[in-house]
Amino acid sequence: MYYPEELVEEVRQKNDIVDVISGYVSLQKKGSNYMCCCPFHGEKTPSFSVNRARQIYKCFGCGEGGNVLTFVMKYENCTFPEALKMLAEKAGVELPKAEYSEEARRREGRRQRLLEVNKEAAKFYYYQLRTDRGIRAKEYLDKRRLSDDTRKNFGLGYAPSRGEELLMYLHQKGFTDDLIRDVGLAKVDERRGTTTQFWNRVMFPIQDINHRVIGFGGRIMGDGDSGPKYLNSPETEIFDKSRNLYGMNYARTARTGNIILCEGYMDVISMHQAGFTQAVASLGTAFTPGQAGLIKKYTKDVFLAYDSDGAGVKAALRAIRILRDAGMSGRIINMAPYKDPDEFIKNLGQEAFQERIDHAENSFLFEIRMLERDFDMDDPEQKTNFHNQIARRLCDFGEDVERENYIEAVAQKYHIGFENLRKLVVNMAAKTGGFAVQTMERPKSGVQGRNRNTPEENVKKSQRLLLTWLTDYPQLYAKIKSYITPEDFTEELYSRVARRMFEDIEKNQFNPAGIINMFEDEKEQSEAASLFTTKLPELESEQEKEKAFHDILVRVKKNSYAYYSAKSGVDISALSRVIEGKKALEELNKTHISFH
């Protein structure tokens, strides 16, 4: 739903960012800012800064930034309307009621009805586990050493042998057979009519990130029971297996800075009981790109705790590729001598498992180690083929520095000469069309040369610095407005921020937090926040500050002049900016800008 900018701004202004964030994390005052360890990535030294005057936050570790609304969206993993509603209720601001079309109302009504069916079914199964008929299921859970609190937390239940009991219960609640079938709890049998999907099984309600039951998993309790070991709800209008993860409703608020990806429900439950509340599992299917996208909303660091058998290794290798394609790093937890996390924790305990997490193996090195098993390393030909396969995989790294680091690590681990492996990768890239490695010589010392910013990044940094100077000293805008325009900020986002910023300063109502509201995308919000929080040089005297500010102003203007000069041959408007820019530069070089 659309909300007027004035209403959004009213809600934001009535929720002081320090007060709101203090409700989630512990802030310590440091100078004019409040600091803490970032709640969005794991760190030991605080780099998360909250500024009350500007009503914005910025993490100088992971780059996250924004205002009070973006913080709530990020922390609660909710949409903008949901965050606005939460803060409006907190501030006592009444929001207008959402208006839906007839079709939208119908769809939403049906969706809510399906969720109600699942909710009631979960209640039914939960109750059955705690009756005399649930004795065998309770014994099974006792054997798995699950506490009462854990059973309650995950809503574990029991589907009785007589499946029609669920149908009778749901009919009493007013649900039709069609709804029960559509939610995946029943199916049609030609002879018996509507029959239930689950019976004589321990039941695992599957919840979405908002704790709503969207499906079920059922497990048999013994080898003598009929049917597959695990049976899951089919996909429905409210249950998309490829875009949900078991346990994510709890893992998303674990604040550990990482997610542990498992194979099964019991692994997740056992790990949560042991304190590893960041554990999740796919839903009876192989890990998917959609599930990787869900994880990426919360972290880029993923640990894989898959079974140690052949099938588990194969699944881990597939998951690694999916995570890498999604821009995430994966590490492999060694489960030996046990098969899975559940067995490991029951036998060796929480501390031993934490130690395995701390020493988890890099996913690429794990891939290479698994690859090595396919070759006879005593056979020169097979050994050469193994090295060629390594080189082929190293071609997948698009970043030069990252590729160089992996070449060095692999060369050291497998006793291959660095330059030999490097040449092999270059040749392989030429053959396969992969990313070729730069052919410059490696420093003799073995230390990489200093990583310099690209010209494009230097241009962007100059523009960020200028906007931060004006954030700290808005009075300077009146002295430079004849020299600088929003068009001098050649990044589109920077230009939009500058235009709004200059207008607000002219009206004497400049507010960085309000400008961030212009953007909907999380990355754009963080980028906008960086324009107000770039670290300025630490200068003591007024003279030094004036010179630094003048230099950065001239640099931005020079970059702008060069940018429009390059476009002037094909863009008439660019030509006029070149002429204006040249004149402004000449005047700037002769002008002293005082901070008073």
pLDDT at residue number 429: 81
455-588 is classed CATH 1.10.287: no
pLDDT at residue number 438: 41
Q: Which tokens in the block code for residue 61?
A: 């570790």
**For the chain, what is the mean pLDDT?**
86
Distances (CA, A) of 516 to 71, 233, 341, 532: 12, 42, 43, 10
Q: Looking at 69-83, 294-308, 328-342, which range is the least confident one?
A: 69-83
Task: Give me the CATH code for the 243-368 domain, please.
Answer: 3.40.1360.10
Most confident among 15-24, 38-47, 391-400 (mean pLDDT): 15-24
Asked if 169 contacts 126 with a C-beta cutoff of 8 angstroms, the reply is: no
Q: How confident is the model at residue 100 (pLDDT cuts 50, 70, 90)?
A: low
Q: Where are the domains of the chain?
A: 5-91, 103-239, 243-368, 374-432, 455-588
Strand-by-strand arrangement of the 56-59 sheet? 28-30, 33-36, 48-51, 56-59, 65-66
Greater confidence (303 vs 586) lies with 303
103-239 is classed CATH 3.90.980.10: yes
Q: How confident is the model at residue 107 (pLDDT cuts 50, 70, 90)?
A: confident
Kindly state the average pLDDT of the residues 255-276.
Answer: 93
Give per-residue pLDDT as tens, 461-475: 899 999 999 998 889
Distance CA 320, CA 261 (A): 11
Give per-residue pLDDT as tens, 401-422: 888 999 999 999 999 999 999 9
Asked if 442 contacts 453 with a C-beta cutoff of 8 angstroms, the reply is: no
CATH class assigned to 5-91: alpha beta
Give per-residue pLDDT as tens, 513-542: 889 888 877 788 888 888 888 878 777 788
Most confident among 39-48, 308-317, 541-550 (mean pLDDT): 308-317
Q: Looking at 104-108, 268-272, 551-555, which range is the least confident one?
A: 104-108
Give per-residue pLDDT as tens, 378-388: 999 999 999 99
Give per-residue pLDDT as tens, 194-236: 888 899 999 999 999 889 999 999 999 987 777 888 999 999 9
Give per-residue pLDDT as tens, 445-462: 232 333 446 778 888 889
Give per-residue pLDDT as tens, 165-200: 999 999 999 999 999 999 999 988 777 778 888 999
Cβ-Cβ contacts under 8 Å for 547 (sequence gap 6 or more): none
Of 361, 260, 225, nearest to 269 by C-alpha is 260
Q: What is the pTM of this model?
A: 0.61
